[in-house]
Every structure is written in C-alpha cells, then in structure tokens.
C-alpha cells in the first residue's frame, strides 16, 4: 500500500469519524450510541495501530472544536483513541475474525466504555471537576465538594446502555468484515504492498 493511498484512507476515515460524532444518538444517563466506535474498530483492524490512533483522536477533537458540548473530556478522548488500538493488537492473533472481534469488543467495553468513559463523565458531571489530569489531581488532593455518587455506582448505572452502544457498533463491524467487497479491497491492498516490497528488494539486489 503506497503512503499516499494510506494517508488518503486515513483522511477519509478521520472525516467519517467526525461525521459519526455528529450522528451520535443520545440516551438517558449521559449515555449515547456513537458510531465512532465502528469507524475506529474498522481502522484498527485494516490499517493498524497508528492510523487507528489518528482517526480516533482527530475525529473526536475536530468534532469538539466544531461543536463543543462543554469542557473537552480528556478521558473520553483517550478512550476513543484506544478503541482502534485495541482492535489492531487483538487482530494480530491467529484466530477466526469473529472471535477476534468479540475479544476486542469485550476489552473495549471494560477498559474504554466502563472504565475511561465512565470515569471522565463521573469526574465532569458528578464530582464537577475538569475531566483532565488536573481534575484527577484535585480529586486526589481533596479539592472538591461532597461526592453524591461514587464512581462504581455511576459506572454500574451506565453499564447496560454502554453495552447497547458497543453491541450496535460490533454488529456493524461484523457485517463489514464479512462483506466480500471489504475482503477484496483488503486482499488488493495486501497484494500491492507485497509487490512493492518485492520490487524494492529486487532494486536493492541490483545495486
């Protein structure tokens, strides 16, 4: 895969990530169905770790800059950056695609949705601190008011809706990775990459 083509794909996926952020469906209790997960999963699976990080973070940051919904939540940003990274790492294993997708989804659910997302929202809306490292420092230092709801209670309350969000995105990615069009595209990209590597090796031998 040429660098130009790969950068073009990353740019398109980043744009899709921004659009997906705007298409988020709000749910009760600071929950939502965000199709950004599917974009990040797809990028991690087919393009690798660094592109997945770029697509996740750029999509979140640009959407926030265009239409901010309060303070920028560092933990939500970290979470969305990790979605694709987790998929990219899991998909390196030799296992059926369906198994790898489920494993990726479970890890993302625990680490990102229940962990980072819930913590960032809890810090912002329940504790009323800035959702950033500075807010964590204030929390540790005790520079806050009375906490009406613990993180664990808040996280467990969000867990069912977070599972719905993840399930929707996992189904979308599952359909895409079983698509014959996607399979042909990935096969073509891998073939082009192999040909380019072989050509480069041949040129080196001639020199």
Q: What is the pTM of this model?
A: 0.81
| Residue carrying structure tokens 């750029």 | 58
pLDDT (0 to 100) of residue 183: 66
pLDDT (0 to 100) of residue 105: 94
Which of 125, 161, 124, 129 lies closest to 144 in space, CA to CA?
Answer: 129
State the total domains in the chain.
1
Q: Is residue 207 part of a domain?
A: no
Q: For residues 139 and 8, is the Cβ–Cβ distance under 8 A?
A: no
> Which stretch of DSSP H or E encloses residue 33?
strand 31-33
Q: Is residue 59 part of a domain?
A: yes
Q: Is residue 147 part of a domain?
A: yes
- Structure-derived torsion over alpha carbons of residues 43, 46, 47, 50, reported in degrees to the nearest 10: 60
CATH number of residue 109's parent domain: 1.10.1760.20
The CA angle 123-126-130, to the nearest 5 degrees, is 35
pLDDT (0 to 100) of residue 82: 94
pLDDT (0 to 100) of residue 53: 92
pLDDT (0 to 100) of residue 104: 95
pLDDT (0 to 100) of residue 192: 60
> Which residues 6+ apart lie within 8 Å of 67 measured at CB?
22
Chunked in runs of 10, what are the mean pLDDT values of the chain (207 residues)?
72 88 76 87 89 90 83 92 94 91 95 94 91 91 80 93 92 85 66 56 54
Q: Is residue 8 part of a domain?
A: yes
Domain that holds residue 139: 3-183
Q: Is residue 194 part of a domain?
A: no
């Amino acid at each position: 895969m040429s660098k130009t083509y790969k950068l073009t794909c990353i740019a398109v996926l980043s744009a899709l990530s921004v659009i997906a952020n705007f298409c988020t469906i709000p749910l009760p209790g600071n929950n939502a169905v965000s199709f950004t997960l599917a974009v990040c999963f797809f990028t991690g699976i087919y393009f690798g770790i660094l592109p997945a990080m770029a697509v996740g973070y750029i999509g979140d940051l640009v959407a926030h800059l265009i239409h901010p919904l309060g303070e920028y939540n560092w933990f939500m940003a970290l979470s969305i950056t990790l979605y694709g990274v987790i998929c990219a790492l899991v998909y390196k294993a030799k296992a059926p695609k369906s198994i790898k997708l489920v494993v990726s989804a479970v890890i993302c659910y625990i680490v990102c949705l229940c962990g980072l997302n819930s913590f960032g929202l809890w810090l912002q809306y329940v504790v009323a601190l800035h959702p950033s490292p500075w807010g964590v420092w204030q929390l540790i230092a005790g520079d806050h008011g009375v906490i009406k709801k613990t993180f664990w209670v808040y996280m467990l309350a969000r867990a069912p809706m977070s599972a719905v969000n993840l399930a929707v995105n996992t189904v979308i990615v599952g359909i895409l990775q079983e698509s014959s069009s996607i399979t042909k595209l990935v096969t073509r990209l891998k073939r082009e990459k192999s040909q380019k590597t072989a050509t480069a090796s041949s040129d080196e031998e001639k020199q």
